[in-house]
Amino acid sequence: MNAAVAFVHDQLTGKREFPKFKAGDNITVNYKIIEGNKERIQSFKGDVIKRQGTGHTATFTVRKISDGVGVERTFPLFSPNIESVELNKVGRVRRAKLYFQRSRSGKSARIKEKRMATE
């Protein structure tokens, strides 16, 4: 990365500690909503369909089915409004961008879970 860009983000952008997640994983994003001077936390649970960009401008998109309607939401990875990210399930998928999920519904839209041995 460019030294100037690295310096600026070192000064301005806070460090983020999230569990490692990728496309196909099921996550919950706890997002701060500011209404006037009140602040509350809204959670958005769904499958990650893409991670996009590099460095401090990277974003990720979460898709969920809400009342039978597909809803997608893109979050900047370094947004100060993201309170936390929880990793619910690790999915087994073969590609990095899951746009094909948009044309699927019901049973075919399920993502197989990757099960790992626990100690």
Partner 1 sequence: MTSVFSPDGKQTAVTIIEAGPCVVTQVKTKETDGYTSLQLAFGDKKEKHTTAAEKNHFAKSNTSPKQFVKEFRNFSIEKALGESVTVDIFAEGDKVEVVGTSKGKGFQGVVKRHGFHGVGEQSHGQHDRQRAPGSLGNSSDASRVMKGVRMAGRMGGDRVKVKSLKVVKIFPEKNYILVSGSVPGHNGAIVYIQK
Dist CA 30 CA 84 (whole Å): 5
* Subset of residues 88 to 117 that bind partner 1, contact rule: CB under 8 A: none
Dist CA 53 CA 1 (whole Å): 13
79 is a site residue for partner 1 (CB under 8 A): yes
**Nearest to partner 1 of 85, 111 (CB atom):** 85
Q: How far is the CB of 21 from partner 1 (least distance, A)?
A: 21
If we measure between CA atoms, which residue out of 77, 62, 61 comes closest to residue 9? 77
Stretch binding partner 1 (CB under 8 A), from 43-51, 63-71, 79-87, 103-111: 79-87
Q: What is the dihedral of CA 39, 69, 64, 71, to 10 degrees?
A: -60
19 is a site residue for partner 1 (CB under 8 A): no
**Nearest to partner 1 of 5, 71 (CB atom):** 5
